[in-house]
Every structure is written in structure tokens, then in C-alpha cells.
Amino acid sequence: MRGLSEQAADVVIVGSGVAGLAAAVAAARGGRRVAIVTKAALASGSSPLAQGGLAAAVGADDAPSLHAADTERVGRGLCDHDVVRLVTESAPAEVARLLEAGARLDRDDMGELALGREGGHGRARIVHAGGDRTGAELVRALIEAARREPRIEVREGVFAAELLVGGDGGVGGVTVLEEHGPRPFYAGAVVLATGGAGQLYSRTTNPPEATGDGIAMAARAGALLADLEMVQFHPTALALAPKGSPLALLTEALRGAGATLVDRDGRRFLVGVHPDAELAPRDVVARELWRRAAGGESSFLDMRELTRAPGGLRARFPAAALACAGAGLDPAIELVPVTPAAHYFVGGVWTDAWGRTSLPGLYACGEVAATGAHGANRLASNSLLEALVFGRRVAESLALSALPARPVELDRAAREVAARIGARGPMRMDDAVADPLRDAGSQREPNARLRASRARLQDAMWRGAGVARTEEGLVEVLDELEALESLGLLVGATRSRAGRSSCELRNLIEVGRLVAAAALLRRESRGCHHRADHPEARPELSQRTRYRAAELLAEARRQADSARQRAVAVG
Ligand SMILES: Cc1cc2nc3c(=O)[nH]c(=O)nc-3n(C[C@H](O)[C@H](O)[C@H](O)COP(=O)(O)OP(=O)(O)OC[C@H]3O[C@@H](n4cnc5c(N)ncnc54)[C@H](O)[C@@H]3O)c2cc1C
């Protein structure tokens, strides 16, 4: 693995989470020259934060068909059967590959892989590492594997801003933001592995990198998107954190190990709500906590019993123990306040079973992709698995395709993109909105204004496109995001130079509008998409949605207009 020396590679992979790293290692082993471009450190994104583990039917009492059945049950009729079969059947082999790569997975007293159980799973099948530090260990092992591959080059701290699309609609590279300005980075194929978009919401477990960049880039390039209304909210994030900061996740495995959800008097409240109580599917648990919060009732995780096990909480759940300590809580004697938080982006860039998007030369894997593996909801611990399986599938597909030589017209596309995002000199965050803005009356410094706009977007999304949605709330979100877009803070809307933060804000606004639009159009409740004004699932809507951004927004605009007209008529 070397530092990037030239602006060309067979394949450029955007993102270095589990999906990007898995794709890079497999593609390099298949003979491709790979460049990884990642906007933060190599170990970044949600992957290093993953706690509970990776689902795989490796137990003596388990089988991929049982894993598939659980996945489809939670996916509420929207899973792609073939993809689910593919992913669940590949899982044991992925675990074997991780072991070969040197991943130190936890073992029981007999030396067998230790298997946890999480909500929605009918068997104990969660393979984990370091207790609840699975993601960090997987990323460590994959980075080590990548370091052994001379065909992989890495650029850390480099932001991919725009896809380069040739006249034939094929993707032949990305424009990246470098210290000295935007630069084309040409490649025979581009793999989006940019992760999710939890930063759309004021309460999220996702890291700051999760700004939906890959979805926004693909949307602007005209790629098909799918299932964007399906945003999974984790029911139990630690409720104590400064507003807008990522919330610490209190993994479901804690509940699998016996922690209970209780009111402030220590009474369990899920027992009468679902037969599986604390181990009910995430959407059921998240909705109950949301409903309680709307009624002014707090919810708590009771881990007191767990802390009495040998070694205490720290031995089995070090991340949870650390999070509680960081918040000044002692779970041995106190109830820990919890809240739902945006956690996983089920929808994204549509791909087929080989990770190919609708645009030639563009692939996607991991959380940015919508493969159909999760349907209307993700079964716990299926996402690391899907990221590994599809990272490898993309590489296999790349090994079989003839990568095109760079078409001449890409240079024109690159020049246009550079002109659009501003090519004048070094790009720093401070430059992003240095020019006079339309609302020139404001004296606030530009960075603060970007942050304020991001917070405004996150609040609007939490209120109107969060755990429970209504037509009225979603129309308000669409109006609010349109207003934010028109403020002129964004790249291309001012004459100023582009910076990463303004690009991210633009991406968040675009993806937020798409999520709200998709949620407006699905007039039913299914999986993690809950419409309080349409609380039942409608059998005639039991199919996935697939659209281009422009079509989706146009349809949502029509529906929003008719909703406004109805409201006026009633008023
Ligand atoms: C707290 C937490 C706990 C979780 N626990 C589990 C679990 O136990 N089991 C499970 O299966 N799943 C879990 N998940 C979900 C899982 O971690 C993610 O779905 C998965 O890691 C996504 O991997 P990825 O490679 O697709 O994306 P990520 O790991 O998010 O990586 C995205 C990468 O893209 C880069 N990037 C993004 N935009 C750009 C850009 N414009 N230019 C350049 N680089 C860019 C980022 O820097 C990062 O390197 C958890 C998630 C969180 C947040």
C-alpha cells in the first residue's frame, strides 16, 4: 500500500470503511490497480464504531436458510430473495476469510467462535470481537490486509466531490478536493463505498463523515436510487450528549445479554407491546421510545444485573462501559437514559447483485448501496456482513469487466465540474462562503453559518422525517430544506471557493429532500418507515421503490402541492 502518486488507477474506491477496504483488497488480488480516496483517516466512517458484530449462521443449530428467513421477516416483504440468499449463504465463508486475514474474533471456553444473539434473530449467530469492538477489529484486520497489497494506493483526507460522467453516461472518475483546488481523478471504474447519512438527523449514532456524499453524487449523475424512505433508527442511544454530536450506541447485544428497558421507576414497558419485549425488532422498540418521549416520558436501560457478571460490564461490553463513564453514569447503580437515534441508511444507490449501479463504470457497496438485502428494515448485524459480501462481489465483477480507456470528453466534464465547484486557489473551509451572501445583513462568520444551517437541517429532519412521519410534517421538511438551499450557502450558488463543509451541507440538503420525498410518497407503514397518518402496511405497496432523483422530487412536489391545496380547502 503506497501514497497516491498519480491521478490515475484502474479503479478508484471512495471510502475506506469495511466495504471500501474489502473491495480494495479483493480487487487488488484480482490484478487491478486500486486507489482508495477517503475524506478522513483510513479507519473512518461507521465501520470502526460497529459494536454488536456480524451475523453468520455458523452455530451447530443454525443454517443460512434460517438466517435468511429472519432477514426477510424483519424486511417486511421488501427484501430481494436472491440477494438475501446470496448474503446469508456467503456469511460463513466471510467469517472464514476474516479469520484468515487475522481478525481476532471472540471465542468461548471451548475455543469455538462465541455467538451472541440480537433482536430479530431466531438463533445466537452474532460473531463479535473484543466484546463490543467488532468493527474496530474488522477494520484493523482489513487495513493490515490492504497494507500487504502493493497494488493499493491510498489518499487520506481527500474529499470526493463529484462523479465524472462522459457523454455516453459512463462514469470515468471523480473530482476530488485537494489543497490546491479541485482535481480530476480518472479511473476505469468508480466504487462508491461512502457509507450512510446519519448526519441528516440531530440525533444519530453515526460519525461526522456520514453525510450521504455517495448518494448525492450518484443522484446528481442520474443514477437510479432505491428505498430512500427506509432509515433505521436505533432504539437505544445514550441520551446524554451535546445536541448535534453523535450519540453513543448502547448495543442491542446488551439487551440480548439481559439488560431491560424500563421507565423511571424501573418498570419494564415493552412486555405488553411485543411478545419478544426487549428483543423485538428495532423499529418496534424505537417507536415505543419515540411515543413515550412525545408524551413526556423518559426511557432507561437497566444494566444493573449485567454489571454483576464476572468482570462487570467492562469485560463484555467495554464500549458501553466507556460511554456510561464518559457521561458520568454508573450503570451498576443507575438507570441509563436512552433515546432513539438515526442509525442505518437502508436505501441508497440502487445496485444489482454484483454491486453494479445503473450507470456504466459506477459500482456501490456497503451502506451507500441499496441491494435489496434489507428490505424495509435491517436485521441487526447484517450490515457489516452485506458490506463484506458486496465489497467482494464488486471486486469479482471488476475482475470480469473490461475497463474502458478514458474517453476524451471526460476532460470536458472535469473542467465543467471544476468550474462549478470553484477552482481558484487553495481550498480551505474558511473560503467556503467568503463571498458576500444573499442575506448580507448577517455578520456571523461563515463557518458558524454553515454549522447553523446543518443544525437547522438536522432539526427539521428529526421533527418531520424521523421515527414517526406524517404528510404534513414531511411537506414542512421539504419546504424547510428548499429554503435552506436557496440561502445561497452552497457550492455553485455563491461565487466562493468550495470547501468540504459546504459540499457536505449541499449533499445533506439534497439527500434530506430525497428522503422526505420518498417518505411522502410511501403512504403506509412498513419496517422502519412509519407514517402515523397511515399506520398500517398496504399489501399493494409491498415492493421496493426505484427512481432517479429528478423524477422522485417532481412527484413529491405534485403531492406536496395537492396536500397544501387540501389544507387550504379545509382551513
Ligand atoms: C455506532 C454504530 C454501531 C454499529 N454496529 C453495527 C454492528 O454491530 N453490526 C453491523 O452489522 N453493523 C453495525 N453498524 C452499521 C455498520 O457499522 C455500517 O453499516 C457499516 O460499517 C458501513 O460500512 P461502509 O464501509 O459502507 O461505510 P463506512 O464504514 O461508514 O465508511 C464510509 C467511508 O467513506 C468515506 N467517505 C464518505 N464520504 C466521502 C467523500 N465524499 N470522499 C471521500 N471519502 C468519503 C468515509 O471517510 C469512510 O471512510 C453500526 C453503526 C454504527 C454507527
Q: How far is the CA of 445 from the centre of ligand 1 (A)?
A: 31
Check residues 517 and 181 and name the one with the higher pLDDT.
517
Distance between CA atoms of residues 564 and 570, nearest Å: 10
Q: How many Å lie between the centroid of ligand 1 and the Cα of residue 418? A: 28
CA–CA separation, 291 and 321 (whole Å): 27
- Length of the chain as a residue count: 571
User: Does residue 119 line the site of ligand 1, with CB under 6 A?
Assistant: no
Measured over the CA atoms of residue 92, residue 94, residue 98 and residue 99, the dihedral's sign is positive
Residue 449 corresponds to which amino acid?
R
How many alpha carbons fall within 13 Å on the CB side of residue 203? 22
**What is the chain's mean pLDDT, rounded?**
89
3-state secondary structure of 62: coil
Owner of C-alpha cell 460519525: 207
pLDDT at 424: 42
- Give percent helix, percent strand, percent coil of the chain, each to the nearest 5: 40, 20, 45
Cα 215 to Cα 134, 206, 513: the distances in Å are: 26, 16, 12
Q: Please tell me if the CB atom of residue 160 comes closer than 6 angstroms to any atom of ligand 1.
A: yes
If you ran DSSP here, which 8-state letter would residue 539 be given?
G
Question: What strands lie across the sheet with 115-116, from one edge to the other?
Answer: 54-55, 126-127, 115-116
- pLDDT digits 0-9 by tens, 244-287: 578 999 988 899 889 999 999 999 999 999 999 998 878 889 99
Cα(531) to ligand 1 centroid in Å equals: 27
What's the pLDDT band for 502 if we cut at 50, 70, 90? confident
**Does the beta carbon of 254 sit less than 6 angstroms from any atom of ligand 1?**
no
Cβ–ligand 1 distance for 14 under 6 Å, the answer: yes
Atom of ligand 1 nearest to the CA of 504: 41
Residue of 4, 46, 502, 506 with the most ligand 1 atoms within 8 Å of its CB, for mutation = 46
> Does residue 329's CB lie within 6 angstroms of at least one atom of ligand 1?
no
Closest-CA residue, ligand 1 atom 14, reads 50
Q: Whose CA is nearest to atom 41 of ligand 1?
A: 160
552 lines ligand 1 (CB under 6 A): no
Identity of residue 543: Q
Count Cβ neighbours within 10 Å for each residue of 241-275 and write b for 16 or more, e otherwise: beebebbbbbbbbbbbbebbbbeeeeeebbeebee
Residue 318 pLDDT class (50, 70, 90 cuts): confident
Residue with grid cell 448474503, as numbered in its chain: 87
Mean pLDDT is highest, among 470-484, 496-510, 555-569, for 470-484
The whole-number pLDDT of residue 196 equals 98
Does residue 440 sit in helix, strand or coil? Answer: coil
Q: Which of 363, 383, 505 to mutate to test the pocket of ligand 1 (most atoms within 8 A of CB)?
A: 383
Looking at ligand 1, which atom is closest to the CA of residue 381? 11
pLDDT in tens, 220-249: 999 999 999 999 999 999 998 866 578 999
Please give the pLDDT value at position 281. Answer: 78
Q: Which residues are catalytic?
A: 282
Q: Rounded to 10 degrees, what is the CA torsion of 36, 39, 40, 46? A: -80
| pTM for the structure as a whole | 0.92
Distance between CA atoms of residues 247 and 225, nearest Å:
28
Q: Which three cell numbers stand for residue 390?
A: 458486496
| Interacting residues of 33 by C-beta distance below 8 A, sequence separation 6+ | 9, 10, 11, 151, 153
> Residue 456 above 50 pLDDT?
yes
Half-sphere CA count of 32, side-chain side, radius 13 A: 31
Identity at 540, one-letter amino acid code:
E
Whether residue 4 has pLDDT greater than 80: no
Number of Cβ within 10 Å of residue 346's Cβ equals 26
Bridge partners (DSSP) of residue 154 are 3, 36
CA distance 375 to 372: 5
Interval 416-438: pLDDT, tens: 887 777 644 333 333 333 333 33
Q: Could you identify the residue written with the cell 500500500?
A: 1
Give yes or no for residue 15 CB within 6 A of ligand 1.
yes
